[in-house]
Amino acid sequence: MPQMVRVALIYSSILGITGVIAGAVASHGLKSKTEEQRNAFMVGSNYQLLNSIAALGALAFSQAVKTTNPAAAKRSLIASCLFLAGTTLFSGTIYARTFDAPKALGKLAPMGGYLMMGGWSCLIAAALAL
């Protein structure tokens, strides 16, 4: 297994398990936070879970077509990496802001969203390469 694929698989799995933990924290552990903060934290958790699965799916697809369609495989591997980077920025920023990180950090969330959109765009490009 190529190193990049291995790293993406491990990172996707870490995002998945920490997304479950974040959901539990949002539901049961943020009693001292406002409802708005708890809701924002849950949004971060939901996006983290969804995009960890998207990253795993893109990764699986890249491995399934790597010998028959290298262009589609490369695009879907890039998609997986974009999902991972975007999720880290988007959800991580939301979590940090919930715990009173500087407001300027909030400017990273949209960049994370753009990276996640880039991941979906790369999957479209991979499908078009089939």
pLDDT at 26: 92
Domain boundaries defined on the chain: 3-128
What is the C-alpha to C-alpha distance for residues 23 and 59, in angstroms, rounded to an integer?
A: 24
Q: What is the full DSSP assignment across 116-130?
A: HHHHHHHHHHHHHT-
Query: Full-prediction pTM beyond 0.75?
Result: yes
Among 15-19, 67-71, 98-102, 120-124, the minimum mean pLDDT is found in 98-102
Q: How confident is the model at residue 2 (pLDDT cuts 50, 70, 90)?
A: confident
Q: Is the pLDDT of residue 1 over 80?
A: no
pLDDT at 23: 94
Give the pLDDT mean for 59-70: 96
pLDDT at 57: 97
pLDDT in tens, 24-48: 999 998 999 999 999 999 999 999 9
Q: How confident is the model at residue 124 (pLDDT cuts 50, 70, 90)?
A: very high
Q: How confident is the model at residue 22 (pLDDT cuts 50, 70, 90)?
A: very high
